[in-house]
Amino acid sequence: MKNYVKDDQKLPIYGIGPYLVITMGILTAIGIVLSGNVLESGIMEGTWIYLFRVMGALFIAIGIYIWMNGAVRSDIDADIADNKLKTDGIFACVRNPMYSGFWFLFLGISLMWHNAWLIVVFLINWMIMTVVLKNTEEKWLQEVYGDDYIEYKKHVNRCVPILGRMR
């Protein structure tokens, strides 16, 4: 994994992303494994199964859409290499679309197992993501972009997209 593409590049291309996503994925997998036996009291029955699965499919689709727009369609790598703060496209709706995409994806996967206890995993993933981003990437971005980043943070959520802001 090549993290820097230019000598004067101030931020890494990947940051802490792979570690954060792998951690959230492992926690989700552990929750799913435990949901079949240790946490079986949370398994929903009847119509709840369909509601959880429909919501799960919806969140999986949302997660893939957000991630694709942030990682593939945004050309974010070029902006990072050129030391530019990305604020257009999906980044006008959410500051961290790749992390958001995975968070929604893991939520959707969890819901497919129709176990209410897995909602706790979703909340733990949210807390981990928030704490890690506040203490790493947000500090790096503020050091590099200063007041521009502070102003951007005032108008765009960290991980929950606000639609209608895409330019």
User: Which residues on adjacent β-strands are paired with residue 115?
Assistant: 43
Say how far residue 135 (Cα) sits from the centre of its chain: 16
Which pLDDT score, from 0 to 100, does residue 2 have?
47
Helix/strand/coil for 14: coil
pTM of the model: 0.86
Burial class (CB in 10 A: 0-12, 13-18, 19+), 84: exposed
CB neighbours of residue 100 within 10 Å:
24
E strand or H helix at 106: helix 97-112
- The Cα 150–Cα 56 span in angstroms is 34
Which pLDDT score, from 0 to 100, does residue 7 have?
56
- Which residues in the chain show pLDDT less than 50? 1-2, 5, 9
Which pLDDT score, from 0 to 100, does residue 8 have?
58
Burial class (CB in 10 A: 0-12, 13-18, 19+), 85: middle
Q: What is the pLDDT of residues 76-115, one digit of tens each?
A: 877 767 788 889 999 999 999 999 999 999 999 999 999 9
Helix/strand/coil for 13: coil
Burial class (CB in 10 A: 0-12, 13-18, 19+), 30: exposed
Which pLDDT score, from 0 to 100, does residue 66 have?
95
Say how far residue 142 (Cα) sits from the centre of its chain: 20
Burial readout 45-71 (b: 16 or more C-beta within 10 A, e: otherwise)? eeeeeeebbeebeebbebbeebbebbb
